[in-house]
Structure 1
Amino acid sequence: MRGSASRLGGMGPFPVAAVVKVLAVLAALWLLLVVLAWAFQSRLIYLPDTSAPAPPGTPGLEEVGYRTGDGLELSGWFLPARGEPVTTVVVANGNAGNRANRLPLAEGLAERGHSVLLTDYRGYGGNPGSPGEEGLIADLTAAVDYAASRPDTDPDRIVLLGESVGSGVAAAVAARQPPAALVLRSPFPELADVARTHYRFLPVGLLLRDRFETGARLARYDGPLLVVAGDDDSIVPTGLSREVAENHDGRYAEIAGAGHNDAALLSGREFLDAVDTFLREAV
């Protein structure tokens, strides 16, 4: 026993100072990550394709322009329905790409009898400005006003379709200017819920400037609501989208095997048919 005690005693005092130094370094690194996340969060949220897409050869497609409340001139595409339009769908894009990526959505809805206004936010698709939550809301508001002004559009049959981050934009506009119906694809109660699933080590609730509080906005909208999600979404967890539908008395459709950026959630037959059926019933 004395020999054993001697060997233990030979290890010397517990290196408290070294542990404190390691913890200090880790704390400094974490703080650096927090600062970087706060400073560059816009680059994490918004992933625009800034190029101006050339109008495709889709029959009937019209390149349009409209002005926002803060003076920006934005461009979009309008595709009329085949036949008498059931509704006019104004699309609020997600955080990446531009309107050219949504052309299959517009074509699929037009084939089913819905006119479609494909929009681009400020900083996207050749439009001036830089994206931010209030700016995106202003952009979609201007797009809705433009759609309502068209002679081939019934203002009482304008609906909003928001995808991902665009669901937060669409919900904000719907709270202010209720559309005939609202479709949200891969929505979330608020952006912080999504951020927490990907950045568990950061205090995202304190860091986020653009919050996209979809749930709070929907509390001020009492019209028809359809929520569509994929059951294999690794970006916006499916449970968050289901929560939006359950909390706001919305119809819910879940597409098996579909991930966040899969074509099935953009222009797949099941998705388009669900939207078409819902809109015809809603209006």
Structure 2
Amino acid sequence: MSRIHAGAVVTGAGRGLGKKIAALLVECGYQVLVTDVDLATAQDTADELGGGTTALAVDVRDHTQVETARDAIVERARRLDVWVNNAGVLLTGPAWEQDEAARRLIIEVNALGAINGTVAAIEAMRGNGGGHVVNVVSLAGLTAVPGEAVYAASKHAALGFSLSTVADLRLAGITDIDISCICPDGIWTPMLHDKLDDPASALSFSGKLLAPDEVVDAVRTVLDSPRLVTTIPRWRGLLVRLGDTFPRFGLKTVPLMVAQGRRAQRKLRSTGGPRNL
């Protein structure tokens, strides 16, 4: 996986999962550009990771800023090999209770951000040795998620865009650019920790909360062997797909899963964190 002068970009890498993915790429020998909407956070991560890691403030909703990040890593590393679209936001509640600004933020960061990053990366990779785009999606991109309808819509969009773009690449005869979608269950990161008191996000707590390192391991795996869709854990992915095949049955199980998630939230509030991490 390591290459001389290979460039990589990770969005939303100032903290949490993105920071750990950036650390993986540094470990593998890539010259990494850490991007985050907050420059100070991105710079702190770059300084901590070392290895010549650099930082840049990027709002993934702005394609011009995304292109600036792309051009910066190409100028520095001579080529772009890996682009990880990790930036995301999670706001919960029924769609009719969210104002337009909240709905727009979720869709633009999670869906348009992934689109902007993927398009910018493809433009740099075409005719320059190819490369790999990794889109951190979610199990919410595969099924119904009560309390997170707009978030689920954004993740469905990101997944549908990714798979359709792979099809377009292959129809255009481009075989040296891969796109892999990582679809994890709830991950114990600051974003989810902030939802412990939020009953609308209960479904995210209904399974085994993942350690960020479990998702990083999945990214490591697809970088070595590209795969269109990876669900984590695999059994939850199979359960989700079964529910989608029989949607009426799937929707009937939702109240049970929400109740389980709310029990898990109460337990986590009392213990301070999951014991399995």
- TM-score band, normalised by shorter chain: 0.3 to 0.5
What TM-score, normalized to structure 1?
0.40
Pick the structure with greater CA Rg: 1
